[in-house]
Structure 1
Amino acid sequence: MTNATVEGFTITGGSARNGGGVLMSDGLLLGCHVVSNTASLKGGGIHCLYRGRVENCRISGNCLIGNDGGGGVCCEYGGEIVRCTITFNKASQRGGGVYCDRGQPSVRNCVITDNTARYGGGIMFFTTAGAQYQAGYAESCLIARNTAEMRGGGGYGNLAGDFYNCTIVDNTASNAGGGVFFMADAWSFGLCANSIIYDNNAPSGMNHYNAGAYFFSCCTVPSASATCLSDAPEFLDRLQGDYRLSSHSPCINAGDAAWADLAGLDLDGRARLSDEGLEIGAYEYAVSQPEEIDSDSDGDGMSDEDELRAGTNPAQADSVFIIQSVETLSAGGMQTASTEEDQKAMVVRWASAEGRLYTVWRSTHLLEGFVAIQSRIAATPPENVYLDRLDDRSASFYRITVE
């Protein structure tokens, strides 16, 4: 695709030399699921060139079998990846989740987890000595539980690559740089600023293997510079995958504004800078005082903290997170229910907010509770639509939660 917009599709089962699911030059890929595609050279799921933008997409289970890069996405000569979930992708060599090559691609407000590659399990930035183009940066991203068979479990910077306000945790490398691995020379280098690089694992450089990169106001062990913290970041619930900051985290108000996009948002969609300062890591602290968590400013029965997470306004009682409708497929206006399977299908609609991920739950008997039937659903504002194909016509009840 060139200078086109593709929105709301599931793209699966593709195979190509470049971009197993999508090959795009400029243009916009919005709110799509790119799942289980394969490429032999670049971009198992997506190969994004020049001014292309991939936004609010789920990129999962794709594979690159060649010697170049990008199990999930390859960005080359520019490009943007924004508010995407990139998970369970694999590259035989470089960048299991994301591979950025020249032109300063940007990866912002993304969740990059459970990807695998030989180098750069989560993300790899690559350029060559004396190259004309920079290799790009990641900002306000969660990079967790990725694996490198050699170096750079979370991230790998080859002569370039910057990480700003990222949380890089629980990654593994078999050789060096469990969190991040950097190679640099006298003219080309990477940096980490306002980032948490903690609880990673590797035989050499458990959290960071630093061959010439710069670290500013990070939380990591061992401390990488005089401006870094070495105390544990104190997540809300690391074992359950919640890497937001607890109320006693040393990362609160410890970031350096000189290295932050002050107009940007954190991974939950909150303003990055407050009156008190800004945090280290992908998430700003949710409330200024722990006792404020249960406050309900507009009296609508939903706490201010929950409203911020859902993307509703805690000061307006009519701004609520609810299911808007549950209808049969034909009544929902999506298509004619021509088959017996279609006649059983239900359409669930809810108002959605930018940058959120949702889980759909179903119950056929309220006393038996709800079961999650689909998780990690990327927001497609202003509304998300989910099609549930039922096995029978039993009465069904639904709930939607924000992850």
Structure 2
Amino acid sequence: SNTAVGNGGGLYFLGGGEARNCLIVSNSALYGGGAYINADGTLQNCTVVDNRATKGGGSIGGGGIWSGGNGTLCNVIIWSNYARNGADYDLAPATAVRCDTTPAFGGSVTVTAVPDAYNHFAGWSGEVPGADTNNNPLTLVLDRACEITAAFGENRTTNTDTPEWWLALYGLTNDPFEVEAVCDTDEDGLCAWEERVADTDPTNRFSTFEIEILLRGSEQFVTFSSSTGRVYTLQGTTAPLQPGSWVNLDIRIPGTNTLTTLSDPGGSAWGAYRIQVEFP
């Protein structure tokens, strides 16, 4: 039961290291409540349970394990952890996940890939016959040492490309996800999919994206709360209602999870400003 003010409540791998036969339970941190693998590290024969990632925001994950590099998980049980995104684990694509057993030489083994809720199996890679890469379960004849990897993908709405897990996180599951994504549940003027882009709560009308415009001499400043995992573009116009009149002034500035200020040195030329929010 440890708490880290930064990352890795139970374990923190800075650039290597290995933990075997361990129980990682009831820890908390901003990222990786149970274990945080910065670049390289291995967990083998471990159980990771009841840990929490506490960093706010919709893009944060890894209540149990967070891996940002070439981590390895072997025979690891990860369950009943909590985070806003990727409750049990949030793993970089380079993270290797495997299970080791000792079947008879020349015999067969059947492997099943089980995706998390609101995700899907996306195929096998490695030493898998070409015709079998989408078979799940997969049966292999073990006449040599081999390594296979299962890929998974998020289920996303077909109309707005919104992850189903994000809608479910806010309880938006009563209607088909394609319907929920375009509903304005909290009646604040933005649909759910737009609130995901803005990184606001689609069920709280007081959770909104707002800007403040300040004039200092001839220079205009636009201030707003930004989020990591988003980029922001300041735009200006002299005719807000005219299509195509908005001009980019400060382009694709990364968010910082703090107040961000963008400036327009030639502010007197514009009658209105807005901020365009995008994913990187």
Larger RCO (CA under 8 A, 6+ residues apart): 2
Relative to the length of structure 1, the TM-score reads: 0.37
Relative to the length of structure 2, the TM-score reads: 0.48
Larger Rg: 2
